[in-house]
Amino acid sequence: MKEYIIRLVYVEMLGHDASFGYIHAVKMIHDDSLLVKRTGYLAVTLFLNEDHDLIILIVNTIQKDLKSDNYLVVCAALNAVCKLINEETIPAVLPQIVELLAHPKEAVRKKAIMALHRFYQKSPSSVSHLVSNFRKRLCDNDPGVMGATLCPLFDLITNDVNSYKDLVISFVSILKQVAERRLPKAYDYHQMPAPFIQIKLLKILALLGSSDKQASENMYTVVGDIFRKCDSSSNIGNAVLYECICCVSSIYPNPKLLESAADAISRFLKSDSHNLKYMGIDALGRLIKISPEIAEQHQLAVIDCLEDPDDTLKRKTFELLYKMTKSTNVEVIVDRMIDYMNSINDNHYKTEIASRCVELAEQFAPSNQWFIQTMNKVFEHAGDLVNIKVAHNLMRLIAEGFGEDDDTADSQLRSSAVESYLHILGEPKLPSVFLQVICWVLGEYGTADGKYSASYITGKLCDVAEAYSNDETVKAYAVTALMKIYAFEIAAGRKVDMLPECHSLMEEFLASHSTDLQQRAYELQAVIGLDAHAVESILPSDASCEDIEVDKALSFLNDYIQEAIEKGAQPYIPESERTGMLNISNFRNQDHHEASSHGLRFEAYELPKQTVQARIPPASLASTELVPVPEPMYPRESYQTTTVPSVSSDAASTELKLRLDGVQKRWGRQTHFPSTSTSNSTSLKTVNGITQVDGSNTANSRTRETYDSRKQVEISPEKQKLAASLFGGPSKTEKKSATGHKSSKPSSHMVKSHAPKSSMEVASEKTSVQQPPDLLDFGEPTVKSTAPSLDPFKDLEGLLEPTTQVSSAVNHSSTAAVTKSPDIMGLYTETTAGAHHKDSDILSGLSNPPMTNMVGGTTTMQVAQSSKGPNLKDSLEKDALVRQMGVTPSSQNPNLFKDILG
Amino acid sequence: MGIRFILMVNKQGQTRLAQYYEWLTLEERRALEGEIVRKCLARNEQQCSFVEHRNYKIVYRRYASLFFLVGVDNDENELAILEFIHLLVETMDRHFGNVCELDIMLHLEKAHFMLEEMVMNGCIVETSKANILTPVQLLEKT
């Protein structure tokens, strides 16, 4: 039988289904023979996952085997526990496993700890009361058990560092003992004392010492010892060394340790083994966060790795470059990345590197021109892989310029973008996302500088729409762009004559299956039919980034509410009060009389209880949307809500139904004005979009400002000198003395090998060598005025600053991104949770027509409103607008339509 | 988690031993094995023994006709994993005496038992050869 089961394991291993035999494996675990039982356990762990139906049959056996006298049986059962017990079955075996923690056999204790570890991974709450056991087992007198305990402790500490600070001393003393060879010889591996335990301990110490000076100080001695003791001629010694470097770069910095780490890294990088080079590059990437200057010494090695044919090494090097990118070297690095991106065809990595390029380009772009070109390249080669958000970001940047208040620069940027896009359109096949950007930009700015005629641009757009006839999004973008161009033409008082191909395109779209396309085509038709004045107000030129205020309080509805209330409608009750009311209405089910004595009496409308219960949530939600939070202007309303907290919910629901009817009529009427409502919605979107992106934008512009100020302040005498010392061979020595010994070290290093290297490398060397002076100004602008620029040590001081600066910039943008995402999330979670399509439709119906009047209206009110939690309303509005465009809100990006219509 | 899977594959791309520490369906396993084996077999001696694949890394080492492939998380110490492979081979060597592909084929369960002693929940739990081999040898005697 055993042989057959092993054959089955083979069958599965070679990729064939062997589920017919699973039951026999399950039977085997009942066998009396230990070997057969163990094989049975092995087979079930290989065959089954924890949610398999047969697990039920196994749990019982496991329970029995955990009680066995034979420790091998217990071990076999514990192995199975680690693989097969799921969340629901944990309680069935947990007590027995806790007992086994005190088993006389160390193998059993070890496996029991690992079983608990598994439970912790599966469901941390199930073993939260047993965490102290892990601490206890750390002091087990068997090193194997102690070593195993480090695994769960590592996980625990990763999740919650602060509760385990007290263990630092224990870990340090264990590590010390291990390093001093106090463990049994059996744990030695290639003359290293228990290297795997050392590595695990170093990992834990790195976690515990991270940004904790006090804890780190306890570790310095032992880590220093290990640095000294490690034998760097064996692989395992280097593995421990590498772990030491990781630890040093994570804990509170200590100059001596950093020095040894830098030494170890240079040994790694100089080694012939690719494995060690790889580790060296990785370690360099870690250490560079703390001491950026060490990269200078290794530039050549890094460049060698970049040129290496080995793909893995190359990628790791790109990762390092990504970490050390600054405004000075961004061009070289991004160019390199794009080149590499083009040369690979692994989509997973391509996506990653494309997004990195975009991130770096956004963060450090030296000029607009360069930025546009870089983005074009990225889109051209990896357009289908980059996030759609990147495209929207690009459009926004083109629309808003680069945060400088310089209109000519902005328009220059736009016309250069238009030009490059018109050029690129000649390419045979372009990714959809890129085409969307192109269409949008052409629509918005194609005719703005008067260089190209409207008919030329429209002709191009028609070509796009025809060439990519199976991509509806692109077609939609193209139609909207056409509409914008015609609108601008009409507004400028020129006569519009549609090209014949445009006519035929429109006819096709008018009969399109996509409602979205149809809608756009009809809008286009309607716009063309209008006179110049009307067109200008619908689609003002270059208005994509103007802020349009949204009346979130829906104050234009006040009259309507007044009217409704006068007719006897129920006033709006804030949500907080409403939940209380629900409770009361539940209560009233039991004691009707008491509850009805409160407040207004609406018994006449009362509905059967069951239906009421079911209907309350939607109804109450609807009321949130329909009526704004009470305002001082409505004394009556607020009076009612405050004095009558327990309004009859039944009545509310019926009243709301009445109101819905009225509203629906209104909505129905409004749909006759598609163009107004859409342009309206566009603007609303834009506002939302802009407020969302503002954060990152300011972050970006801030970094850019600092760069600019640097550029202006600095006449760059040092830069020139450094450049001279790089390239001007004869005058090398005197320049060196001027720049100081520290910075000359890398440069002279460079000069030596400069000649045989390709010009590309030289460029990159130059840029990175130029860093110190730049950074100096960047980080400490005051140094400039106080100290003469020749002081090299100031340079070095300055080196430490910029990383924090840069990282803070990164933080800015990342927080902005974070704040952005919950917005979107909120939007959809709330709408789906609330899920009242009808309601939201109504809302938009209500909000749209008056919105046109209210634009530029009450800001203060809006602000007051927003503090009261407009999120739900806001999101429902968005949702409704999206819906209006004929798209279900499952799309994760509400900004999509802003861009199409903006 | 650390280690996600351990594979032994011969030069022809046939799997000789597979142990996953996270559940994958048969199709997923087959696809994964195919992809990474192709990637690793294409590499030469000089290139480094680590390959990035999707969101994790593969550390591999070749012994005669047999490749040992270990999939690890990104923050794992690759060099240590490389040495762990060697420790596994040394352990099997001590048990079988001059271990070869055939030994693993014919004693698949024993190779698995050793692995079970060394790695649990994707973590290295035991590195002492004596401790690893004692239970396996005891099983043989029964």
Whether A398 maps to a domain, the answer reads yes
Is A827 in contact with A894 (CB distance < 8 Å)? yes
In degrees rounded to 5, what are phi and psi of residue B10?
-90, 180
Is A436 in contact with A473 (CB distance < 8 Å)? yes
Closest CA in chain B for residue A84: B23
pLDDT band at A545 (very low <50, low <70, confident <90, very high): low
- Closest Cα of chain A to B66: distance in Å? 16
Whether A888 maps to a domain, the answer reads no
Residue A246 clears pLDDT 50, i.e. is over it: yes
User: Among A115-124, A320-329, A525-534, A813-822, where is mean pLDDT lowest?
Assistant: A813-822
Chain B residue numbers with beta carbons less than 8 Å from the beta carbon of A52 are none
Residue A649 clears pLDDT 70, i.e. is over it: no
Q: Shortest CB distance from A278 goes to which of B18, B50, B123? A: B50
Q: CA gyration radius for chain B?
A: 15
Residue A604 clears pLDDT 80, i.e. is over it: no
- Report which secondary-structure segment, H or E, holds A576: helix A575-590
Which three-class secondary structure state does DSSP give residue B16? strand
Domain total of chain A: 1
Chain A residue numbers with beta carbons less than 8 Å from the beta carbon of B131 are 107, 144, 186
Cβ neighbour number for residue A174 with a 10 Å cutoff: 24
Angle at A389 between CA A385 and CA A394, to 5 degrees: 100
Is A676 in contact with A882 (CB distance < 8 Å)? no
Cβ neighbour number for residue A404 with a 10 Å cutoff: 13
Chain B residue numbers with beta carbons less than 8 Å from the beta carbon of A47 are none
Residue of A312, A315, A319 best to disrupt the B interface, most CBs of B under 10 A: A312
Global ipTM = 0.96
Whether A63 maps to a domain, the answer reads no
In degrees rounded to 5, what are phi and psi of residue A498?
-70, 140
10-residue mean pLDDT profile of chain B (142 residues): values are: 90 91 91 90 86 88 92 92 95 92 92 94 93 91 76
Whether A508 maps to a domain, the answer reads yes
Residue for token digits 């999206």? A882
DSSP 8-state secondary structure symbol assigned to residue B123: E
Whether A536 maps to a domain, the answer reads yes
Q: Shortest CB distance from B48 goes to which of A184, A197, A275? A: A275
User: Among A151-165, A624-638, B97-111, where is mean pLDDT lowest?
Assistant: A624-638
Residue A6 clears pLDDT 90, i.e. is over it: yes
Q: Any idea where the domains of chain B sit in the sequence?
A: 3-135
* A503 vs A409 pLDDT, higher one: A503
pLDDT band at A498 (very low <50, low <70, confident <90, very high): confident
pLDDT of res. A550: 62
Q: How many helices (H) and strands (E) does chain A have?
A: 47, 0
Among residues A60, A53, A125, which one has the least CA distance to residue A87?
A125
Residue A790 clears pLDDT 60, i.e. is over it: no
- Closest Cα of chain B to A322: distance in Å? 17
Cα–Cα dist A738/A740, whole Å:
6
Average confidence score pLDDT of chain A:
69
Cα–Cα dist A114/A137, whole Å:
11
Among residues A214, A211, A204, which one has the least CA distance to residue A174?
A204
Helices (H), A367-471: 368-382, 388-400, 407-424, 432-445, 454-467
Is A269 in contact with A280 (CB distance < 8 Å)? yes
Angle at A201 between CA A147 and CA B60, to 5 degrees: 80
Cβ neighbour number for residue A427 with a 10 Å cutoff: 9
DSSP 8-state secondary structure symbol assigned to residue A338: H
Residue of B38, B120, B129 best to disrupt the A interface, most CBs of A under 10 A: B120
Specify the pairing of strand B50-53 against strand B56-63.
antiparallel
Whether A344 maps to a domain, the answer reads no
Residue A754 clears pLDDT 80, i.e. is over it: no
Specify the pairing of strand B3-10 against strand B15-20.
antiparallel
- Rounded to an integer, the average pLDDT of A287-308 is 84
CATH number at residue A483: 1.25.10
Residue for token digits 């000198």? A721
Question: pLDDT tens across B60-92, in order?
Answer: 999 988 999 999 998 899 999 999 999 999 999
CB < 8 Å from A in window 47-76 of B? 47-52, 54-55
Angle at B17 between CA B39 and CA B41, to 5 degrees: 20
- Which percentage of chain A shows pLDDT scores above 90? 21
Cβ contact, residue pair A15, B26, below 8 Å: yes
Residue for token digits 């496996």? A111
Cα–Cα dist A870/A865, whole Å:
6
Give residue A408's domain range. 387-546
Whether A148 maps to a domain, the answer reads no
Cα–Cα dist A257/A226, whole Å:
11
Question: pLDDT tens across A802-854, in order?
Answer: 444 444 444 444 444 444 444 444 444 444 444 444 444 444 444 444 444 44
Question: pLDDT tens across A308-339, in order?
Answer: 888 888 888 888 888 888 888 888 888 888 88
Cα–Cα dist B32/B34, whole Å:
5
Is A43 in contact with A5 (CB distance < 8 Å)? yes
CATH: 3.40.640.10, 3.40.50.2000, 3.30.450.60, 3.40.50.2300. Which one for B3-135?
A: 3.30.450.60
Question: pLDDT tens across A759-779, in order?
Answer: 444 444 444 444 444 433 443
Cα–Cα dist A368/A125, whole Å:
52
Closest CA in chain B for residue A51: B23
pTM for the model stands at: 0.62
Q: Shortest CB distance from A196 goes to which of B48, B80, B120? A: B80
